[in-house]
Copies of this chain bind each other. A is one copy, B any other.
Amino acid sequence: MSEPDINATIRTYLDTVATGDAAAVAALYAPDATLEDPVGSDVRRGRDAIAEFYGGLAGAELTTELLTARVCGLQAAFHFRVVTTAGDAKYIVEPIDVMTFDADGLITSMRAFWAPSDMTVA
C-alpha cells in the first residue's frame, strides 16, 4: 500500500473546514479519532462528537489558508489562518494544529494550539 499524501490531506482538511460542512469534516477523521481544540480543553472522541464540534462552524463565512506544514511520516504540525467574516468585521486566528493519521490518511488525532487572546480583528 502506498503512503498517504499527508500534505494533500491537510489541504483537504482546511478546504473542507471552509465549507462549514461538519459531517464532511468529521468524515476526514477515523471513527475513533480524538480532537482537543484548544489544547487543554476536554478531549472529544469519535466522529459524532467531532461532527458536533465542527457544527459550530455552520452558517459562518469562513476562509482558511495553509501557512506552513511540517510532515514526519504519519504525523504533522501545521500553521494556518482562519478568517471569519461577521457583518463588517473579520476575525483572524492562526492556530498551529498537530495531527496524527492512519495508513488510509484518516485523521486519528487533532490538537489545536491557539488561545482566544491570539485572535485579531481586521
| Interface residues of A, Cβ cutoff 8 Å to B | 38-40, 68, 70-73, 75-79, 94-96, 98, 113-115, 118
Q: Give the nearest-CB partner of A93 in chain B.
A: B70
Protomer copies = 2
Give every chain B residue within 8 A of A94 (Cβ-Cβ): 68
Contact A115 B72, beta carbon cutoff 8 Å: yes
Given known pairs A96-B96, A98-B98, the reply for A115 and B79 (CB within 8 Å) is no
Contact B96 A39, beta carbon cutoff 8 Å: no
A76 CB to nearest chain B CB (Å) = 7
Give every chain B residue within 8 A of A40 (Cβ-Cβ): 72-73, 75
A selection of 27 A-B contacts at a CB cut-off of 8 Å is: A38-B72, A39-B72, A39-B73, A39-B75, A40-B72, A40-B73, A68-B79, A70-B95, A70-B96, A70-B114, A70-B115, A71-B113, A71-B115, A72-B114, A72-B115, A75-B113, A76-B113, A77-B77, A77-B96, A77-B98, A77-B113, A78-B96, A79-B79, A79-B96, A96-B96, A98-B98, A98-B113
